[in-house]
Homo-oligomer: A and B are copies of this chain.
């Protein structure tokens, strides 16, 4: 099928760029002897997960059990959920253990004890890692708390659970204001984990795995010592935020939204048929966050005179900052979104692009929120 035959808006994936992004990250991990376990949140596609495994990834991550069910069904043999699963879902976990090598995180003694009970009742064992808060202040135990090592030792002692090690996510890297701050975040995370690993081992707890992962600080994190595993997600497609965080160039961005001009009420305003139902209202982040809801490309080049100043659900209202544009209703543009992960989650299907040829890419794990 040809690109210009697609109904718009359409989510396009440049296959060559995506695969080049995968090659580079795998090479960077290999160079440091760190195992790569990509997070699937960005592509939600077993097809793309296969590209990652074929290049050397040791498995994947999902956030939710519903996603893991899709990837396990597609034959992905090793799935980690860096998510604090609740034991209300024990039945689904037990079912998944028959289909894939599943592991997940715990960060709460009471929840860990409930998981232990559930696994003992089911006659099963499951791999877990203790989540450590390295500064994002979302989930995770406080590594500086008096009880941190005792909590880890407590999990290690629970029947039904096999403690594999520690896991962290430096999500605060998305809020860094400079290259230096990103480097300090990466160094701080590594130092925190090395220290906690040493204290846990000194207390007699075996720590085999130390897992971290986020795309923005990856270039710094992969220079640190102490990690056994890295879990970037966004790096497969990148987006405007990653460019602004120095993690990619615009030419690395593999996901674009092809949209059509549908109205031009006045010379300095055009309306595109992609709204928040395709791009979401996620703002751009980065060292110097840019206004608007994405970068508009014309013939592959950014047109900085076009500012997506407002999204309705099905409309992008674009201000032409120079007062006029040759674009007319019917014309096609492409948009590099602020955040590519959320775009994947909005469509049942994206399109893999090779030149002018396109091929459907089902987003099989889209919308699996439970």
Chain A interface residues (CB < 8 Å from chain B): 7-10, 41, 63-64, 66, 83-89, 107-108, 110-111, 114, 133, 137-142, 171, 260, 262-266, 269, 271, 273-274, 276-278, 280-283, 310, 312-315, 317, 328-330, 341-342, 345-348, 367, 369-370
Contact = CB atoms under 8 A, between A and B. Distances in A.
Contacts of A111: 263, 329-330
A7 B89 contact: yes
A139 B369 CA distance: 34
Given A133-B265, A266-B142, A88 B260 contact: yes
Copies in the complex: 2
A137 B142 CA distance: 49
For the complex of A and B, 5 pairs with smallest distance between CB atoms: A7-B370, A63-B314, A84-B263, A139-B263, A84-B262
Given A86-B262, A276-B280, 6 more contacts: A9-B369, A87-B330, A133-B265, A138-B315, A139-B263, A313-B345
Contacts of A369: 9, 274, 277-278, 314, 346-347
28 contacts: A7-B66, A7-B89, A7-B370, A64-B314, A83-B262, A86-B330, A87-B330, A107-B263, A107-B265, A108-B265, A111-B263, A111-B330, A137-B269, A138-B271, A138-B310, A138-B312, A138-B315, A139-B262, A140-B265, A276-B280, A276-B282, A277-B345, A281-B281, A281-B282, A313-B341, A314-B369, A347-B369, A348-B367
